[in-house]
């Protein structure tokens, strides 16, 4: 993923961080490339032939879609240029032109969905029927790394037979980036492809290598998003949704409206304070924007069109799911109360929290169980088939076979997926149980520290959770969250029962014999 910029200040901070990291005053250019709104794909060539192609997936694990990618005319199967590396991984974007999409608009919501759905088809002959395009823009690996600049690599891509974006530029500074962005934004709707911004990369590959990556994004690149599309519509209702961590999130149900080619019927209201600040009420005419061309949210209310009898929206102080008390937590760092109100019924006592915990447990980054999606979880919950994570491994498959939409084959596939998911890494397991403030990176830190599930459980049972404060990257917020999670008996029971049914692999240790192995630094 790339970090996002929306304003000039974001770009200034981005460049400031680069200089701080390099710790020297050095001149560099930016490679500017349009950010096409498509599907990322990676092509690996060995001995000048396309060996395999994969989708980005979750950023670490993708799907092998080689045969589907071979149907795209923009992707060379064999490259005869003598300067082409013996081994290289080329990355780019698969997309559909707006003009071509008009032929398929009844089947897909937008061009991006069409590209994604087409690439995931089992039959390449079906993929061949859709006029997919491919734009190459970077490399993941290149033998020898012969290029000094991103722009130099892009020129070579063109020589090798790949399509690159004709609007790519080299610009020297932030002011020039902003001028180009403004100019490009004004013509974006006249282009025959969807895009949601421009990508700026430090042009020097040597500097890119020095800057490296954070846990989420490269330090040397940023996506400068375009202004969001907006439209006016009416608020029909305000729903309060309860998330996995108990957060109560208000969502406006609005009269469906088309914003930038997407029909929007829901818009986030963020939290209780935002509703009060903007004074949003039922029946109001509001302006809705798709922030970053993705998440619809309410910008403002047209109070001139408000009904005289409208009433101020009263945010519930009790959980709409289980009726438990809700609170706003006090943040010791900011010395303020959080804007988000939360249900106190942690564990599996609140239906909405429990369902969201189950969805988290089977998500891609967690156990990643094929065939057991969010809708299936909701359905199985209503049928009392699944109430806790451990129930997944004790399903009544005979009962499922008789359900609408299920049959012998689909049930067998589900059973196989569940069996496969029983072997899981310690990192994914810690993440999957859904402790607040313990995301993928923190789960990794905990797994590397405890090394195996036995040690992790022992620390929980012996109340040695404070030991985690010694881990670089884990602070009081995370430790208090772990304590709170395991003070709930239902969560303890889930942990114990899952340990019995799953094969939780020890954390993999890096055994490379590097020059600095066994050295101590003070």
Q: Which two tokens stand for residue 313?
A: 């929206």
Q: Which two tokens stand for residue 78?
A: 């064999």
Q: What is the Cα gyration radius of the chain?
A: 26
CB atoms within 10 A of CB 325: 11
Which helix H or strand E contains 461, and what residues bound it?
helix 453-461
Q: Which two tokens stand for residue 384?
A: 């009392």
What residue spans of 41-108 are helical by DSSP H?
A: 66-70, 98-101
Give the Cα separation of 458 and 486 in Å (integer).
Answer: 12
Q: Which two tokens stand for residue 457?
A: 């459980």
Which helix H or strand E contains 255, and what residues bound it?
strand 248-259
Give the Cα separation of 378 and 393 in Å (integer).
Answer: 17
- Annotated catalytic residue: which of 8, 16, 17, 35? 35
**Structure letter (DSSP) for residue 77:** S
Extended strands (E) in 311-426: 326-331, 336-343, 423-425
Residues listed for the chain:
522
Give the Cα separation of 12 and 173 in Å (integer).
Answer: 10
Give the Cα separation of 313 and 269 in Å (integer).
Answer: 12
Q: Write b or e for each residue in 63-94: b if 16 or more Cβ atoms lie within 10 A of its Cβ, otherwise e.
A: eebebbbebbeebbeebeeeebbeebbbebbb
Among 114, 112, 113, residue whose Cα is nearest residue 38? 112
Per DSSP bridges, beta strands 3-5 and 221-225 are: parallel
Q: Which residue has 């799907």 as its token pair? A: 63
Q: What is the distance of C-alpha 13 from the center of its chain?
A: 23
Q: What is the distance of C-alpha 226 from the center of its chain?
A: 19
320: phi then psi, degrees, rounded to nearest 5 = -70, -15
**35: annotated active-site residue:** yes
Point out the residues that are catalytic.
35
């Amino acid at each position: 993923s790339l970090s996002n910029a929306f304003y000039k200040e974001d770009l200034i901070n981005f460049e400031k961080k680069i200089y701080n990291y390099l710790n020297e005053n050095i001149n560099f250019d930016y490679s500017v490339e349009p950010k096409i709104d498509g599907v990322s794909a990676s092509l690996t060539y060995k001995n000048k032939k396309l060996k395999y192609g994969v989708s980005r997936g979750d950023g670490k694990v993708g799907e092998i879609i080689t045969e589907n990618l071979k149907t795209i005319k923009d992707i060379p199967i064999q490259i005869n240029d003598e300067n082409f590396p013996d081994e290289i991984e080329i990355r780019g974007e698969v997309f559909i032109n707006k003009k071509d999409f008009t032929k398929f608009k009844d089947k897909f919501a937008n061009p991006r969905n069409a590209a994604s759905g087409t690439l995931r088809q089992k039959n390449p002959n079906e993929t061949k029927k859709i006029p997919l395009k491919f734009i190459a823009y970077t490399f993941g690996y290149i033998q020898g790394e012969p290029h000094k600049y991103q722009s130099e690599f892009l020129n070579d891509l063109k020589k090798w037979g790949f399509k690159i974006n004709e609007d790519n530029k080299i610009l020297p500074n932030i002011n020039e980036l902003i001028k180009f962005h403004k100019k490009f934004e004004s013509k974006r709707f006249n282009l025959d492809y969807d895009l949601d911004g421009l990508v700026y990369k430090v042009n020097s590959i040597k500097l890119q290598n020095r800057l490296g990556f954070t846990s989420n994004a490269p330090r040397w690149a940023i996506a400068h998003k375009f202004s969001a599309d907006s439209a006016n519509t009416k608020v029909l209702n305000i729903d309060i949704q309860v998330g996995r961590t108990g957060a109560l999130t208000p969502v406006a149900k609005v009269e469906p409206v088309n914003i930038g080619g997407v029909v929007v019927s829901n818009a986030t209201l963020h939290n209780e304070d935002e509703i009060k600040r903007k004074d949003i009420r039922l029946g109001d005419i509001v302006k809705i924007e798709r922030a970053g061309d993705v998440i619809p949210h309410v910008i403002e209310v047209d109070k001139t069109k408000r009904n005289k009898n409208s009433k101020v929206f009263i945010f519930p102080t009790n959980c709409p799911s289980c009726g438990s008390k809700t609170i706003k937590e006090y943040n010791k760092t900011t010395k303020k109360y959080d804007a988000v109100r939360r249900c106190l019924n942690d564990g599996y006592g609140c239906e909405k929290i429990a369902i969201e915990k189950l969805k988290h447990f089977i998500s891609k980054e967690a156990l990643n169980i094929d065939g057991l999606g969010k809708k299936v979880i909701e359905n199985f919950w209503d049928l009392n088939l699944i109430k806790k994570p451990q129930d997944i491994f004790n399903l009544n498959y005979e009962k499922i076979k008789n359900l609408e939409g299920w049959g012998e084959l689909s049930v067998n596939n589900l059973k196989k997926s569940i069996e496969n998911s029983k072997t899981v890494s310690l990192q994914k397991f810690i993440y999957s149980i859904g402790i607040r403030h313990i995301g993928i990176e923190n789960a990794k830190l905990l797994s590397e520290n405890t090394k195996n599930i036995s040690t992790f459980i022992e620390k929980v049972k012996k109340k040695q959770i404070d030991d985690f404060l010694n881990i670089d990257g884990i602070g009081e917020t995370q430790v208090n969250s772990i304590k709170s999670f395991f003070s709930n008996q239902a969560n303890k029971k889930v942990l114990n029962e899952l340990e019995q049914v799953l094969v939780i692999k020890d954390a993999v240790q890096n055994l490379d014999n590097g020059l600095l192995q066994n050295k101590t630094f003070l």
